[in-house]
Homo-oligomer: A and B are copies of this chain.
Amino acid sequence: MSDPLRALLVRDDLRPFFLDGHGLHLLDQRDLPAHETWRVFGDGGVIEGVARSIEGLAVRGAPAIGGAAALALAAFARRPRGTLASFVDTLKQHDARLRRTRPTAVNLFVALDAIAAARDAAAGRADARSDDVAVAVVDAAEAYCHVDEAACTAMGAHGAALLDDGDVVVTVCHTGALATCGQGTALGVVKSARKAGKDVAVVALETRPLLQGARLTAWECQRDRIPVTLITDGMAAFALNRGLRGRRIARALVGADRIARNGDTANKIGTFALAVACAHHDVPFHVVAPTTTFDETCPDGHAIPIEERAADEVRSARGAPLSPVDVGVWNPAFDVTPASLVTGFVTERGLLSRGASPARSASPAAAARR
């Protein structure tokens, strides 16, 4: 049963996780860039291990969270145990545990919904056996990962067409291979453009408090030989205004954790500030996200739950204390960029542009689903 999953093994591209006979291997992104620490969760402890890895940000990035949760269920399911009823019941408990990890990224729920549907369909057949449910869960998990990987490739192709030779692109947080099951979303577009021969450079916002830009985007760009300049989040507006040592920033490309029906986009805190600065300077601002990130059940940005995280994330950086230990803190992990500030969405199905008016005639979520 692990054979169909072996395809996830044999690539030498950067991947945030893979399954093999030992269990689920997961790159602990908290240790990057100093150390490449791989954690291995055997089939017994894989659910709690991956749940805590998601909560603790060992794995992060909306599409990758979905992939990690999916492969955790696959790793558990591939060794079915107990009666059909008890096996399905345990799978449901594991599904519930994984849903309780992080609230904002919708891809997690998309992946778990797909696996739950496959599980229930298999279990509902007249002659259903535990093995059938196991195969259905593994297949659905693998499908999520493969669909996400293919989406990254397609987004790269569509997005690369936006970029010109010599462009400098600003981005926030980390949207590369480690955040997805493929080459990445926004950073994947840069990779596709460079593969197409365009000399595209990246300006990475460090992305306080957890510094995914400084740690992961800078590291992945260096690994893939993409020219990268690191700046603090507060420098982005001035970089858009003055350029970086004479090089104008051509556009912003960012990822997304959830896109509402009206196009309002939740993404890593700092994204909205970047969008405001881009609008001020008439610099195009594109969101790069697979259609799994579009949430048609969510009318607008105010309906997107925004995770607030621990105060000590702001009071410190990589273990170093920064502020008085007891100072009050506000620490939203995400913000919401209104659709009116988004020039367009790059999805695996193509580019969805918005009209010049903030009042949008078509729902990007609906368009993305078409």
Least CB separation from A205: chain B residue? B234
Contact indicator B232/A314 (Cβ below 8 Å): yes
Q: Is A361 close to B, CB under 8 A? A: no
Q: Does A103 contact B (CB under 8 A)?
A: no
Residues in A234-250 with C-beta less than 8 Å from chain B:
234-239, 241, 244-245
CA distance A228 to B228 in the complex (A): 35
User: A317 at the A/B interface (Cβ < 8 Å)?
Assistant: yes
Taking a contact as CB atoms under 8 Å apart, the answer to whether A320 and B323 are in contact is no
Closest to A239 in B: B330
Contact A230 B323 (CB under 8 A): yes
Check B320 against A234 for contact (C-beta < 8 Å): no
Copy count, this protein chain: 2
Interface string of A23-66 (1 = CB under 8 A from B): 00000000001100000000000000000000000000000000
Contact for A273 among B238, B245, B279, CB less than 8 A: B238
Report Cα–Cα, A4/B205, bound state, in Å: 50
Residues on the B chain within 8 Å of A230, using CB: 314-315, 323, 327-330
A273 vs B276: C-alpha distance when bound (angstroms): 9
- A236–B239 Cα distance when bound, in Å, is 17
Q: In the bound complex, do residue B273 and residue A222 qualify as a contact, i.e. CB atoms below 8 Å apart?
A: no
| Given contact pairs A222-B326, A241-B336, a sample of 8 additional A-B residue pairs in the complex whose CB atoms are under 8 Å apart | A206-B322, A215-B323, A231-B331, A234-B273, A237-B273, A238-B269, A238-B332, A238-B335
22 sampled A-B residue pairs with Cβ under 8 A: A34-B321, A206-B322, A208-B208, A208-B232, A214-B315, A214-B327, A222-B324, A230-B323, A230-B330, A231-B329, A231-B330, A234-B234, A235-B273, A235-B332, A238-B269, A238-B273, A238-B336, A273-B273, A273-B277, A276-B280, A277-B277, A318-B320
